[in-house]
Amino acid sequence: MRWPLRNQILLPMVSIMLLTVVVVSALNAWLASARVKRQLEEQLADVARTLTASNFPLESNVLRQMRGLTGAEYVVVDAAGRAVAASDDSLQTAAEKNQRASAHFDLAAVVTIGQRRFFHAALPIDRRASGREQQTLHVFYSEAAWRAERWQAIWPSLAIGGVSISLVGMVVSLLASRLTRPIQQLHQQVGQIAQGDFRTISIPQRDDEVRELAAAINHMAERLAQYEEQIRSSERLRTLGTLGGGIAHQIRNAATGARIALDLHQRDCQLVSGNGHSSEPLSVAVRQLTQIETSIQRFLALGKPAAAVLAETNLAAVISEAVDLVRPLATHMQVILTLDLSAQSAVISGDPQSLTQLVVNLAINAIEAAAQSRPATSSISDAKEALVEIRLTHAGDGPIEFAVGNTGPGPSAAIQPRLFEPFATDKPGGTGLGLAVTRQIAEDHGGSIRWDRRDSMTWFLVQLPAAGNNRS
């Protein structure tokens, strides 16, 4: 049977407090009762001694006056055992039957007279010195009156005990609720995590074990969210590889056939012209077809361990060659393309073909983004409205930084958190694979990629370790 934590805390504490309060209240009530009885006995004993020491006759009217003062009934019995005076005539018979007197006044004996019960005591009255006979004074005190006085004495203790129990119950209940509420929230969060909802909850302000547990569960939720995203990314990449495998052969054959045809055409052109120089546009086309073949290989290798053999590579030369491949596109789209290779001797341990694809992907994205920012009526002279800047820098012993900036509007807010994930794109007709491939290439070379928006331009920054410092 389920026993909530709140009850585990509340019930034992309330039970202990209840037992303590009951014992204390009962003890206080017993002490109060004994104190009242002792005070009553002392009061009646003083009255009895006063009556004994007095010289005036103990007549019935005197006894009735004493009843009004003390609440007790009095009967005087002579030496022959006859009642000679009484505050209540119905008690004379009982006094005549109980002749045993005690020098110590004690309300211990209880007698029943009709429907009433009385505490009874008898004291001898010796008046022979004053010329009177020896008598016995009987004192009857109503048990009902005694109970009323006792209740008046003990009810404050019982009331305080009841209030204490209520207050303790309320305080313990509040404390238990305050403790169990965060635990219930953690229980709900764990249930949500089990259903695939990895949202975190607010951390309690109290620095205690519950706060540490909440922080641990939040950390677990964040890690699980990362693992889920990695698994989904891997699944997408595997799906991509499966789908791409079916058409890769046809694309590769078509690219190979087109390249062979261009090679033959270029050779024929050289024979006709006789100058031995090939056409620059044809050379670019051949290199683009070669790049297509490489891209297909990278496409099929997504999500698989990199198989490229890394060697010392001059990154400036790779960038220069890759920029030559995209210049025709920039010219066609009326985008100004500038190149700043300050770090001419930047050498890294890398794969030239993969690095070329990285540069081409970033450059093409930048050219297309810059072209979107140029008004349809603008011309090539409007450089400030359609500009792509490519820079290569290397400061001291730090990493080599390759930056591509464009005057485009930048990625939308909706796509920014998933910018480098496969299939994440907001570009019409885009596949969302370019930046995913670029990130994988950068990570394969021990580097990283990020983006930034500054000076009205969008920048993609790639950092790669210099040769000898590769972290891979």
Domain boundaries, the chain: 5-162, 309-464
CA proximity to 91, closest of 116, 70, 62, 69:
116
For residue range 385-415, list pLDDT tens digits in order.
789 999 999 877 788 999 999 998 888 888 8
| Angle in degrees, CA 459, 465, 470, rounded to 5 | 145
Rg of the chain on CA atoms, in Å: 54
Is 5-162 CATH 3.30.310? no
* β-bridge partners, 406: 388, 458
Task: Determine the pLDDT at residue 67.
Answer: 84
Contact 371, 333 (CB under 8 A): yes
Most confident option among 36-40, 82-86, 202-206, 393-397: 82-86
Phi, psi of 278 (to 5 degrees): -85, 160
For tokens 């989904």, the residue is 232
| Residue 337's pLDDT band (cuts 50, 70, 90) | very high
Residue type, 405: G
Q: Which two tokens stand for residue 455?
A: 């000076």
Question: What's residue 210's pLDDT?
Answer: 73
Whether pLDDT at 308 is above 70: no
Check residue 450 and give its pLDDT: 93
Decide if pLDDT at 98 tops 70. yes
The Cα 69–Cα 59 span in angstroms is 16
Q: Token digits for 60? A: 């019935």
CA distance 346 to 361: 20
pLDDT value at 232 more than 60: yes
**Looking at this protein, which amino acid is placed at residue 302?**
L
Cα 378 to Cα 326, 385, 386, 410, 456: the distances in Å are 21, 8, 9, 20, 19
Q: Answer whether residue 113 shows pLDDT above 60.
A: yes
Q: Which fold has domain 309-464?
A: Heat Shock Protein 90 (3.30.565)
Instruction: Give the whole-angstrom CA distance, residue 2 versus residue 189.
Output: 20
Establish how many alpha carbons lie within 13 A of residue 45's alpha carbon, considering only the half-sphere containing its beta carbon: 12
Q: What share of the chain has pLDDT > 90, as a percent? A: 11
Look over the chain and give the mean of its residue pLDDT values, rounded to a whole number. Answer: 78
Q: How confident is the model at residue 338 (pLDDT cuts 50, 70, 90)?
A: very high
296 pLDDT higher than 90: no
